[in-house]
Structure 1
């Protein structure tokens, strides 16, 4: 047999193997919604732009409809888009779609443990425990409102130190948001000059950007390959280890000073719960779960609010007419002699509408975190097997043209009726929906209202360029929509 014959046979065998793999894959996926034809190993990744994965998935929905199958490497996922389908899945069939899907960037560290990336009975018990504990410590009540108002004044002090000169607000906003969740979790706040605290803010900001970068998307798609390939994505795991190390130090401080009859914060309550269930071999409350849950809450409570505020200030720089109207409403309802409070919210429909529109337009978490199906189900005529990964494109509800008049434009009128009163919109899914809706939604709304109202009560925003030239599209979009870096000046009012 000559070399030409050997090559022909090898080529034939290779092609046959590829066809077999494709046939096996199709047979295995029988019953799933149609979608682009995947290739072995790489799935549909040649059909999307890895720098704009969310945008690519939205474009594919125009071809394949609001429900289609997409392969992240070798993993089949069903993509859901548009308000109606997302509502039917996440709300009408909330239990069936409540599983937590693959998110390798975090799960390499969390191992599926913790309140955000856990699933099943463990997740249910942790969520119930966290909601109850936070309520007991004032979440949604006047006690935590007073704490937010106090933190807002600390933030104003830092802003005044800029003396009207250009600065980047990122770390100030991160510190303010982080101090609120820190109060609930650890029972105390940090000074804005605390070096360890600033290092933590840097770790959280860094991971948020890395998970939303092209490297982060590649890790999301090819986790088994990317964990061996050098690149900035490998820093995500290292950063989580550093966050966990800090949390471990705080946990030890609480452990050494714990009074079982006088819980001071979330960590104390968790330690007491561990002690109560120490003889239960099936308990989900243990040291590892406490560490993972605390990091989850600290990260989420810091980044989402601060990113929304950062994006919001940039949007207002682009729309000075909106800022001007907000100043008028603040002057009329609050004045200058007292701090904003949540009672003011009912009298400030424009501020409420602007905050909701900032959240909708900024679209900080465009696809939420992947879900899974908790049992075999029929959905829209398709057979979805248990543990199938689901990608809910929350952004397609936030930008659904059937629900919002000008979805691609920043327009507070999306949340105002004809009489200028605030109106809700069920397509607003900034906090996700259903069983996995953000447990800190009430806290986040309170922070956004008090922080933004206080900033605009005290300062006028000054851009460093013509407002019309300010780009309010995100710098990158992955796990999160990352606002473009910018500086601004704050002029005292």
Structure 2
């Protein structure tokens, strides 16, 4: 006679085999990929990792469109420039949904822009884009804000008088102040402790992304939301940012909306009033808070991290740094105000800025999309709700598109005569309906900040230091390891 233990074991094996066979039937209709198992999907074979290099390695085995499984959920991976471009642009509306995963749902509650989907996303994105354009996005008005912050940054570096410093905080402070001026109507001083706290909270948020505990939360949300750990601290960091934003909104509300709105909050408060009788309106204070958080996070971390990499690459490649400085001196001199339009007369500097973006490749994989309706993706039928991951990093490292993808080489953006050349596989801002709405601002900031710093200083390692670590640290964005450099006035 069988014991209770033997019966339970036999039942567990039967259920496992049944579910395993069911998974195999489901995967036949999808792109190829590793064999999934019940409960875990393919995460065991992936060693609980999910990063760009692993995905590029899997593409060599399974092809540039393949399937991974997170539990019972299939995730379609697009790898390489052609697959990413075709997958995101052939039926862009079909793959315009955003995966609101358990952790990001706990954080942003499906509100705002970046982590919203459907009607909310469309309304909030449309309003944000229209308002940013009104406030000067793509015009000289907003460029003036960038030039002003670049001047503050140069002054700060000059005040250090060539002594070793960690450039990460000055960079993120200056870049953040550009979006603050647009959204809040004012900048924050370097001594503002509240603003320091917000920047520290933002940095913790990005460092948590892609970590082991982040993956655990996405796989076992019902368990992790009940347990203490770093995920709880990170969610409280997002609350710090939200409280900061609500405080700014309260200050605007108390003073009243001016006749001529001056900043993003003014425009949003005015729009809440105008749309209050619209039955499907998503314009309310919560969506305003989360939209502003998205603008702050998206408009600060990625640009400052790219500049952080840029200074490190200049230290590692002093010959390239010198060529940039020679071009800047020859074309602009030492006093002329640097404009974004100057990039047309500075092809080498422009190429270096683009190569910094390409080579640093700071987005580990890319943001996931969701099919909003049944569709065909590169020949495979996908059901509504299917998750699609465009591996943007693989486009920036695609060996079929770049001469030396794993080397820092500004020549990737120059022709034989030294003229700047745009490259189709250069997709750091993504592609399709979810392309970054702050792309123009980010491009302007990168060029103006970088050109101002290189014209004013030569960057080098502190005396006695010889090692330069250019390997990234894993996180929501790929950061350089902390380093110190000397900004030597020219």
TM-score, normalised via structure 1 length:
0.96
480 and 217 in structure 1: CA distance in 2 versus 1, 3 angstrom threshold: farther
Residue of structure 2 in register with 1:167 after alignment: 165
Instruction: Select between 230-239 and 388-397 the one with higher mean Cα deviation.
Output: 230-239
Once residues 482 and 157 of structure 1 are traced to their aligned partners in structure 2, the CA distance between those partners, rounded to angstroms, is: 25
Q: Deviations over 1:1-44 (max 9, x none)?
A: 364xx443332211100011122333344521121111221111
Residue of structure 1 in register with 2:387 after alignment: 389
Tell me which of 441, 446, 454 is aligned to 1:448.
Answer: 446
Q: Would you say 1:37 and 2:35 are equivalent positions?
A: yes
Q: Deviations over 1:42-98 (max 9, x none)?
A: 111111244563322222111111111101234221111011111111122211111
155 and 103 in structure 1: CA distance in 2 versus 1, 3 angstrom threshold: farther
Once residues 66 and 412 of structure 2 are traced to their aligned partners in structure 1, the CA distance between those partners, rounded to angstroms, is: 29
Residue of structure 1 in register with 2:488 after alignment: 491
Q: Deviations over 1:267-325 (max 9, x none)?
A: 11111110011122311111111111111111111111111111111111111111011
277 and 138 in structure 1: CA distance in 2 versus 1, 3 angstrom threshold: same
Q: Would you say 1:56 and 2:58 are equivalent positions?
A: no
Q: Would you say 1:115 and 2:127 are equivalent positions?
A: no
129 and 60 in structure 1: CA distance in 2 versus 1, 3 angstrom threshold: same
Residue of structure 2 in register with 1:267 after alignment: 265
Once residues 467 and 453 of structure 1 are traced to their aligned partners in structure 2, the CA distance between those partners, rounded to angstroms, is: 25
106 and 9 in structure 1: CA distance in 2 versus 1, 3 angstrom threshold: closer
Does the CA contact (< 8 Å) of 1:403 and 1:427 recur in 2? yes
Residue of structure 2 in register with 1:141 after alignment: 139
TM-score, normalised via structure 2 length:
0.96
Once residues 77 and 116 of structure 2 are traced to their aligned partners in structure 1, the CA distance between those partners, rounded to angstroms, is: 21
Does the CA contact (< 8 Å) of 2:370 and 2:387 recur in 1? yes
- Measured after TM superposition, the shift of residue 214 of structure 1 is 2.8
Gaps of 5+ in 2: none
Residue of structure 2 in register with 1:96 after alignment: 94
Does the CA contact (< 8 Å) of 1:211 and 1:233 recur in 2? no
Does the CA contact (< 8 Å) of 1:102 and 1:389 recur in 2? no
Q: Deviations over 1:103-147 (max 9, x none)?
A: 443321211111111112221221111111111111111111111
Residue of structure 2 in register with 1:309 after alignment: 307
Residue of structure 2 in register with 1:348 after alignment: 346
Does the CA contact (< 8 Å) of 2:112 and 2:294 recur in 1? yes
Residue of structure 2 in register with 1:153 after alignment: 151
Tell me which of 328, 331, 349 is aligned to 2:329.
Answer: 331
- Measured after TM superposition, the shift of residue 216 of structure 1 is 2.6
Q: SS in structure 1 opposite 2:9?
A: helix
Does the CA contact (< 8 Å) of 2:202 and 2:297 recur in 1? yes
> What do you get for the CA RMSD once the two structures are aligned?
1.7
Q: SS in structure 2 opposite 1:312?
A: helix
- Measured after TM superposition, the shift of residue 407 of structure 1 is 0.4
Does the CA contact (< 8 Å) of 1:36 and 1:69 recur in 2? yes
Once residues 465 and 410 of structure 1 are traced to their aligned partners in structure 2, the CA distance between those partners, rounded to angstroms, is: 25
Q: SS in structure 1 opposite 2:75?
A: strand
- Measured after TM superposition, the shift of residue 228 of structure 1 is 3.1
Q: How does 1:217-296 map to 2 (within 5 A)?
A: 217-296=215-294
492 and 185 in structure 1: CA distance in 2 versus 1, 3 angstrom threshold: same
50 and 13 in structure 1: CA distance in 2 versus 1, 3 angstrom threshold: closer
Once residues 377 and 51 of structure 1 are traced to their aligned partners in structure 2, the CA distance between those partners, rounded to angstroms, is: 29
Once residues 116 and 401 of structure 2 are traced to their aligned partners in structure 1, the CA distance between those partners, rounded to angstroms, is: 32
Once residues 399 and 44 of structure 1 are traced to their aligned partners in structure 2, the CA distance between those partners, rounded to angstroms, is: 25
Instruction: Select between 366-375 and 18-27 the one with higher mean Cα deviation.
Output: 18-27
Q: SS in structure 2 opposite 1:182?
A: helix
Residue of structure 2 in register with 1:200 after alignment: 198
Residue of structure 2 in register with 1:479 after alignment: 476
> Between Structure 1 and Structure 2, how many residues are aligned?
490
- Measured after TM superposition, the shift of residue 467 of structure 1 is 8.8
Does the CA contact (< 8 Å) of 2:23 and 2:37 recur in 1? no
Q: Deviations over 1:222-247 (max 9, x none)?
A: 43333334322222211111110110
Once residues 335 and 217 of structure 1 are traced to their aligned partners in structure 2, the CA distance between those partners, rounded to angstroms, is: 50
- Measured after TM superposition, the shift of residue 396 of structure 1 is 0.7
Once residues 44 and 104 of structure 2 are traced to their aligned partners in structure 1, the CA distance between those partners, rounded to angstroms, is: 25
Once residues 263 and 173 of structure 1 are traced to their aligned partners in structure 2, the CA distance between those partners, rounded to angstroms, is: 29
Residue of structure 2 in register with 1:436 after alignment: 434
